[in-house]
């Protein structure tokens, strides 16, 4: 069986099971901003790499029911202490050589055909998938959100705390979120909402790998709650499966996080 077919089966079956919830209990408590930051900072710390450089090979499978699947392969480099990342698109051939450079609040997209950088947004879809450009940077939940409600829920094999979040800034991709945190303070599921409360997107983190004292999400499923297609009389949502290979905390040259580097490797 091909990698594409295995990933598609995982996308349709494994993710479908994972999105199912279980019994839950709601608590009527409020959280101060200080308490919100304390809880969310513990979550951020496990998947942010301030002390290290990070690199990995990301394969992104887009599944659009009735239209088939497509695959994008990228190499991602992160330097969280400087809030920067570089992404190089390796496949498909039609997009090969495209690159992204984030430096602080600025994000550029490089197109190797006209050999030009254009400013883009962290909120934009990454390569027309269900992922956003902001999904590839460090976790900043404590900086961007506050907790407004809490409950507990059995999510598959995990006993989780469920937190309703409200944005503290208008710079985030979604003004409201729900996150499911397991007993190790790892995010297992998120739901993204519009300001009016419309459910926009669901993300499940199926697997992590541990490197040193940090965790890298290595298998992620993202479901678009608005877009999809009716197949055989049943509506099926668009989904994206992200798998990460060769995650590393090996130190990277400063050159990697420059426009000159993207131009050199893309042409």
Q: Quickly state the pLDDT bin for 230 (edges 50, 70, 90).
A: confident
pLDDT in tens, 39-50: 999 999 999 999
The percentage of residues in the chain with a pLDDT greater than 90, rounded to a whole number, is 77
Residue 264 has a CB neighbour count (10 Å cut-off) of 10
Q: What is the mean pLDDT of the chain?
A: 90
pLDDT in tens, 185-209: 999 999 999 999 999 999 999 999 9
Domain edges within the chain? 3-266
Residue 144 has a CB neighbour count (10 Å cut-off) of 20
CATH architecture of 3-266: Clam (2.50)
- Residue that has been written with the tokens 């990342």 in this structure: 85
H or E, element range at 35: helix 33-47
**Contact call for residues 179 and 141 (beta carbons, < 8 A):** yes
Check residue 11 and report its DSSP letter. I
Q: Bigger pLDDT: 234 or 45? A: 45
Q: Bigger pLDDT: 18 or 148? A: 148
Give the pLDDT confidence score for residue 20 in this predicted structure: 53
Q: How far apart are CA 231 and CA 33, in angstroms?
A: 46
Geometric angle at alpha carbon 266, from 265 and 267, rounded to 5°: 100
Q: How far apart are CA 237 and CA 227, in angstroms?
A: 6
Q: How many helices (H) and strands (E) does the chain have?
A: 5, 14
Q: Taking the model in full, what pTM does it have?
A: 0.88
């Amino acid at each position: 069986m091909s990698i594409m077919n295995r990933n598609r089966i995982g996308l349709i079956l494994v993710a479908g099971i994972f999105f199912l919830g279980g019994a839950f209990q709601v608590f009527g408590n409020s959280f101060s901003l200080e308490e919100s930051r304390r809880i969310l900072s513990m979550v951020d710390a496990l998947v942010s790499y301030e002390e290290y450089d990070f690199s990995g090979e990301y394969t992104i499978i887009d599944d659009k029911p009735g239209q088939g699947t497509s695959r994008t392969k990228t190499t991602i480099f992160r330097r969280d202490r400087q809030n920067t990342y570089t992404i190089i698109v390796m496949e498909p051939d039609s997009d090969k050589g495209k690159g992204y450079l984030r430096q602080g609040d600025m994000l550029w997209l490089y197109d190797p055909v006209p050999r030009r950088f254009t400013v883009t947004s962290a909120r934009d879809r990454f390569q027309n998938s269900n992922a956003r450009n902001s999904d590839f940077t460090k976790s900043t939940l404590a900086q961007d959100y506050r907790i407004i409600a809490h409950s507990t829920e059995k999510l598959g094999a995990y006993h989780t705390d469920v937190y309703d979040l409200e944005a503290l800034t208008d710079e985030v991709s979604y003004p409201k979120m729900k996150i499911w945190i397991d007993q190790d303070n790892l995010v297992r599921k998120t739901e993204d909402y519009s300001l009016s409360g419309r459910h926009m997107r669901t993300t499940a983190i199926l697997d992590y790998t541990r490197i040193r004292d940090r965790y890298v999400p290595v298998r992620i499923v993202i479901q678009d709650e608005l877009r999809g297609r009716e197949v055989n009389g049943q509506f099926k949502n668009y989904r994206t499966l992200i798998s990460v290979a060769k995650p590393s905390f090996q130190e990277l040259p400063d050159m990697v996080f420059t426009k000159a580097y993207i131009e050199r490797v893309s042409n």
